[in-house]
Amino acid sequence: ISWHCEHYEGRGLMKKMTGAELAKACGVSQGELQKEFDVYNKASQNPGTDKWDKKFFEAVPVMTDDTFHVAEITPVIHYCMGGVSGNKDAEVTTPENQAIKGLYVAGEALGGVHGVNRLGGSSLLDCVVFGRVAGRSASRFLLDKLITTGGAGADGASAAGVNVKINPTDKSVTVSWGASTGGAAGASAAPSADDDEAEVDPNAAFYAQGVT
């Protein structure tokens, strides 16, 4: 507890005060503050009997001659569990569980990832994992659209075609459309969702070495 208090005090979110300083900050006398503390202390002897129905009390009795770590508490949205429905490819789905092509969702806007509650720290699953999935799905969708429709030129007219050039040496892929580019290999279809298994694992060489 002490470490947390020092941490938030260092950030200016909490202040260390005497009882007199706390009373002044509240705009009341120290005696009036003690009267409120006395009501609290009495309620602690019979939990659930005060007007707030408080059940648990710690560090009682509270007295104005003590030292206090004070912070203003306000409601704040820490995390949103709700969101629109999506599938494993981060596509938004209809109430009938049909994917809406070209519409993707990730982060806290995506619902149903964690069930009724999430484990602390696992919200990264929403933004990092499904963010990557959404980006990959959107890229696949756009590439497929370019290949099947020929893309669109600057004037909105259909372009001549799409060319995909793959360089195994530096593992690069160049996509162009419009005028044909020399040496470019034509492509007739974009990778499907089932091609995920064909992705190159950047750690494959490391794993192949085994444990020495």
pLDDT digits (tens, 9 = 90+) for 93-147: 999 999 999 999 998 899 888 877 788 777 777 888 899 999 999 999 988 887 7
Exposed, middle or buried by CB within 10 Å (0-12, 13-18, 19+), for 147? buried
Q: Is the pLDDT of residue 154 over 50?
A: no
Q: Is the pLDDT of residue 11 over 50?
A: yes
Mean pLDDT of the chain: 80
Nearest by Cα to 18 from 72, 71, 64, 73: 64
User: H or E element: which one contains 14?
Assistant: none
Report the C-alpha gap between 150 and 175 in whole angstroms: 12
Beta bridge partner(s), residue 27: none
Find the mean pLDDT for residues 56-62.
92
> Tell me, what's the pLDDT at 158?
43
Question: Which pair of tokens denotes residue 12?
Answer: 């200016």
Top-confidence residue, 82 or 51: 51
Q: Is the pLDDT of residue 161 over 80?
A: no
- The vertex-24 CA angle with 20 and 29, nearest 5°, equals 75
Q: How confident is the model at residue 157 (pLDDT cuts 50, 70, 90)?
A: very low
- The vertex-193 CA angle with 191 and 198, nearest 5°, equals 65
Nearest by Cα to 106 from 77, 76, 128: 128
> Tell me, what's the pLDDT at 141?
92
